[in-house]
Amino acid sequence: MKSILLTAALVTGLILGGNSLALSHGGVGGEESLHPAPSSDLSTVLSEFSDIENFENLLQKLNDPDPFVRVEAVQVLGEIQKKQSLVSVCNRLQDDNFYVRAYAAEALGKIGRLDIALTLLRLLPALDDPSPYVRAMMVATLGELQDERAADSIRKLLTDEDESVRKMAAWALNKIENSQ
């Protein structure tokens, strides 16, 4: 529920031309005021992206120089069940900013089933990301997708140098094995 509310706030900020997370948090003048759109408004807000022009504007935000704008765009695309969303989010797995890469991985957990072969093709090679945070998010996504083809790659991460990645790999393998 909290995720839906945050996404609604992010979508609203993007539609209104916001260019940072501060807008979605009401961060004007250093004051933080969380007033996201009610969850019932999420479907209305997301339906605006069925308009190709609005959707194209969202895709353009993926190239914004501000990484937080790219994070917002990736999060919104993770809620839009379109093949173009999936392809665009997959492309962000190579972003220079590790937050963008991590949120792209998270978004793939929501839309990756649109084309599981493409999702695995892009996620599995990215598991060698230099950031343990990103690796953990990618492994979590693979666990959520529950596709047996990811198991061997996840097993290799059971010996990762980072404890959080190792724990996430164990969790993901358990989730995959219990889904069969």
- CB-based burial label for 150 (10 Å; 0-12, 13-18, 19+): buried
pTM: 0.74
pLDDT at 170: 98
Q: Which of 34-38, 135-139, 158-162, 169-173 has the lowest mean pLDDT?
A: 34-38
**Domain membership flag for residue 91:** no
pLDDT at 179: 87
For CA atoms 72, 76, 78, 79, give the dihedral sign.
Answer: positive
Are 67 and 117 in the same domain? Answer: no
Helices 116-123, 132-145: crossing angle, 10 deg rounding:
160
Are 69 and 136 in the same domain? Answer: no
Are 55 and 126 in the same domain? Answer: no
Q: The CATH number of the domain where 134 resides is what?
A: 1.25.10.10
**Domain membership flag for residue 97:** no
**Domain membership flag for residue 86:** no
Q: Which of 80, 115, 148 is the last residue of a domain?
A: 80
**Domain membership flag for residue 87:** no
Residue (of 156, 147, 149) closest to 175 by Cα position = 147
Could you identify the residue written with the tokens 């993770």? 78
Into how many domains does the chain fold? 2
Q: Is the pLDDT score of 157 beyond 50?
A: yes
Mean pLDDT computed over 33-46: 42
Are 44 and 114 in the same domain? Answer: no
Are 164 and 121 in the same domain? Answer: yes
State which residues form the domain around 177: 105-180
Are 60 and 2 in the same domain? Answer: yes
Q: Is the pLDDT score of 22 beyond 90?
A: no
Using DSSP's 3-state secondary structure scheme, residue 161 falls into: coil
- The Cα–Cα gap between 83 and 89 comes to 10
pLDDT at 27: 34
Mean pLDDT computed over 141-161: 97
Are 166 and 125 in the same domain? Answer: yes
